[in-house]
Structure 1
Amino acid sequence: MQGINKALIDTPYTILLCCTENKAEYEMRALDNLLQQKVSGIFLTSSSDFCENESARRIRKTLNSFQVPIVLIDRALKNSMWGGVYSDNSAGAYMATEALIKKGLKKNRRLYQRYKPFDRRAAL
């Protein structure tokens, strides 16, 4: 968000943030609101990974009704035409482990991923 905000500082644009807790119902409500607000673009981390196929289809259909640029962040939407910015969590975990080994980590440590529908983290 900081990078997006920094890029917008000298423009007439501002960020509207919608938090949907990975619930399709909340996401649909937020998208409808953004459509009514006539926003100029959307950065989206969609809940579609966490919802039924019908809800994901409704989200894609609603997004198709926007006549603005859409950029997906960290989660692709199946069968969509929008570009996105994605992280590679596996490569990131590998690089972090390599860095720890190079720093001389000698004791056994557990690397795990805790996963909740609205919380993904890698931790040592």
Structure 2
Amino acid sequence: MDPVGIAEKSTEQFVQFFYGSYDKQRNALGNLYRDSSAILWNGNAFSGAQQYSEFLGRLPVSHHEIDVYDCHPITAMTNTQGATGILINVTGTVKYGDHPNKRTFSQTFILAPDEIQAGNYYVQSDNFRFV
């Protein structure tokens, strides 16, 4: 399969897993990040999975609705097995707790191919912003 096809399939799986877990089982998200992951959540910077997981655990229950997502392979991030990095852009709405209004958000991920577990990716960069 070509890099674009792999990126599209991987992105579809990632988006479904990420937002489904975010809304129902946030503790599973920490496994997607590394200590070296760069994370920016609405202007708040986090370094690594542990600090980010603790922050997510303090947020109220959420419900995401994804409007659109797009992806692009990053061939400059090709690993020794030939897997490329993936740039993902997501736009949607999210409602936190019993707040009556949904908020529009944009989120950009850079997924890097995992050198240890072939076929897997980790979040190298995550930038979330309310619009």
- Is TM (by shorter chain) over 0.5? no
Larger radius of gyration between Structure 1 and Structure 2: 1
Higher share of residues assigned helix: 1
Higher share of residues assigned strand: 2
Ranked by relative contact order (alpha carbons within 8 Å, sequence separation 6 or more), the top structure is 2
TM superposition score normalised by structure 2: 0.21
TM superposition score normalised by structure 1: 0.21
